[in-house]
Amino acid sequence: MAELVFFSGTMDCGKSTLALQLDHNHAARGRGGILFTRQDRAGSEVLSSRLGLRRPAVEVGDSTNFWDEVVRRRTHGERVDYLVCDEAQFYSPEQVEQLAQLVDELGVDVYAFGITADFRTRLFPGSARLVELADRVEVLQVQALCWCGARATHNARTVGGHMVVEGDQVVVGDTGQAVAVGYEVLCRRHHMRRMTVAVARATATAPDTLEFDVR
């Protein structure tokens, strides 16, 4: 039986790396698949991981229809057994429904990867629909860590190292303190306090020493 599986986690937990590994494993067994992505940090029409791995991919846009894309390829003799869909939080609910239709009616396995909530802790529409429709929701086992050492559960948008809670839901960026507008993963406690690593360092007695939780 084909499945729609949603692999979820915060930024920095290895989603894109797993997506590329999964594609490699299936292709090595002779299965035909398509890589999809949307607004990857490395640019258009590429699926990349922070480990340096990258593969060409089909860029998903507002007008992309997954059902039409697979039917067209199969009609022209291309084998399509599975789809790997990265950055799935940016897909529309209608596109997620098309993915579910491919699983149910054409027997195509769909592996979607994405974060569930934005920098305001609000669900992305695409992720919400995936949670509602997926046969399985898998939380990635590689845990991203907050600066305090606890498991990171929230994505924070930062400007100059300070957390912001207003702005457009979708702004492409990456983790790292060197970028002016970027993202940082935090535990819930420090997300609620808006305490990024830069703020923690600025308020610590020793500027270069961070307080780690002892549990």
Q: Identify the bridge partners of residue 140 per DSSP, sorted by sequence position.
A: none
Which has more confidence, 149 or 214? 149
Residues 93-129 pLDDT 10s: 999 999 999 999 999 999 999 999 888 888 999 999 9
Residue 182: which residues within 8 A CB-CB, separation 6 or more? 157, 158, 173, 174, 175, 176
Per-residue pLDDT, 175: 54
Q: How confident is the model at residue 204 (pLDDT cuts 50, 70, 90)?
A: confident
Tokens read off for 56: 């060409």
105 is catalytic: no
Instruction: Give the model confidence (pLDDT) of 49-62 as tens digits.
Output: 877 788 899 999 99
Cβ neighbours for 82, distance < 8 A, ≥ 6 positions apart:
26, 31, 32, 33, 34, 108, 109, 110, 111
Catalytic residue (one of 3, 69, 87, 138): 87
Decide: pTM greater than 0.85. Answer: no
- Write out the CATH class of domain 4-139: alpha beta
CA distances, 99 to each of 102, 111, 125, 166, 203 (Å) = 5, 10, 15, 31, 47
What are the structural domain ranges in the chain? 4-139, 154-203
pLDDT at 35: 96
Predicted local confidence at residue 205, as pLDDT? 43
